[in-house]
Amino acid sequence: MKRFDKITLPSDFPITAGEHSPSIKPVSLVHRHNCLELGYCHKGSGIFMIDDKIIPFFAGDVSVITEYEFHIAQSADSPSLWTFISLNPTELLYPCKSIGIEHFSGWKFPNILTQHKHGGIIALVREIISELEFKQPNYQDAVKGIAMAIMCKLHRIGSKVNRNDNLHVNKIFERIAPAINYIHANYMKAIRISKLAKFCHLSEPHFRRLFVSATGKSPQEYLTHLRISLAGILLKDGDRQILDIALLVGYPSLSGFNRHFRRIMDCSPRNWRNLEKLHLTTDITHHHKSIIPQNDY
């Protein structure tokens, strides 16, 4: 089972960009890279699992994922479209300062940047994608300048938040990655904890302890948060009936779906949809009580 994707960057100009489309099933196994990854979502919506966080994304958002973080992306309804930039800032921007990525992680770091809060960084990411695509004269100098501006702005965010013990988290994710993969591929079905433990070659009690250590949630709570996160996106972006959405994310009854939705989102599915239609909310992350941090910084 592959969990580390080695990306080979050009030695003289260590940055690349390419389009990718996460399907409605997980796009890959839980994995991490050997470089910094910046992504721009052109269309669609879905969720990112980044270490112990489940974070919704929408068109216009930017993702920031370091080499330390295990992650997996999944579209909510129809495939989304992304451009992902892979770079080694230490080599690309040498000998400039403020190029380390050690602060770009942790529970409070906003790995998904929204236009509402981080429009300046998003504009820079779009600009760097354009420079890499069209390769106008002196584009490499332009890319380095834009990349430096992005890094400086990310450092301003990262300096205000606490970091995870990434080494500890990575070791645990290595053990439970098969279970995470299975949950993301089968969240719409009933899932037995004993089966997840068997995938990881662990006893059920040991598996439960490791899962809580890695994600901060029990396997059942993680599954519930994943389902409700996807449901919230579908309620915001589409016109499906609430019952249809409940069935789609794995709830056989509307009562169970409503109960879990209220507990996690602090309102009913109907009110959630009405709030979005009335434009009384501008960022889905504001309403998540347990899925992601309530405060970015």
Per-residue pLDDT at 265 exceeds 80: yes
pLDDT band with cut points at 50, 70 and 90 for residue 22: low
pTM listed for this prediction: 0.85
Chosen domain end from 158, 183, 216: 158
What's the CATH number where 107 sits?
Answer: 2.60.120.280
Q: Please indicate, yes or no, if residue 274 is contained in any of the structural domains.
A: yes
Does residue 15 sit in the same domain as residue 90? Answer: yes
Does residue 93 sit in the same domain as residue 217? Answer: no
Lowest mean per-residue pLDDT among 127-131, 264-268, 293-297: 293-297
Chosen domain end from 158, 188, 215: 158
Domains held by the chain: number: 2
Q: Please indicate, yes or no, if residue 297 is contained in any of the structural domains.
A: no
Does residue 149 sit in the same domain as residue 236? Answer: no
Does residue 108 sit in the same domain as residue 241? Answer: no
The encoded tokens of residue 147 equal: 């990349």
Q: Please indicate, yes or no, if residue 146 is contained in any of the structural domains.
A: yes
Q: What is the residue range of 213's domain?
A: 166-287
Does residue 171 sit in the same domain as residue 154? Answer: no
Does residue 221 sit in the same domain as residue 126? Answer: no
Q: Please indicate, yes or no, if residue 47 is contained in any of the structural domains.
A: yes
pLDDT band with cut points at 50, 70 and 90 for residue 3: low
Does residue 268 sit in the same domain as residue 245? Answer: yes
Give per-residue pLDDT as tens, 48-98: 999 889 999 999 999 999 998 999 988 888 888 999 999 999 999 988 866
For residue 280, what pLDDT is reported?
Answer: 43
Q: Please indicate, yes or no, if residue 295 is contained in any of the structural domains.
A: no
What's the CATH number where 213 sits?
Answer: 1.10.10.60
Q: Please indicate, yes or no, if residue 127 is contained in any of the structural domains.
A: yes
For residue 294, what pLDDT is reported?
Answer: 33
Chosen domain end from 158, 178, 196: 158
Choose between 286 and 24: higher pLDDT. Answer: 24
Does residue 116 sit in the same domain as residue 146? Answer: yes
Q: Please indicate, yes or no, if residue 13 is contained in any of the structural domains.
A: yes
Does residue 143 sit in the same domain as residue 174? Answer: no
Per-residue pLDDT at 17 exceeds 80: yes
For residue 6, what pLDDT is reported?
Answer: 84
Does residue 185 sit in the same domain as residue 278? Answer: yes
Does residue 117 sit in the same domain as residue 179? Answer: no
Give per-residue pLDDT as tens, 167-187: 556 778 889 999 999 999 999
Average pLDDT in the chain: 86
Q: Please indicate, yes or no, if residue 296 is contained in any of the structural domains.
A: no
Does residue 13 sit in the same domain as residue 147? Answer: yes
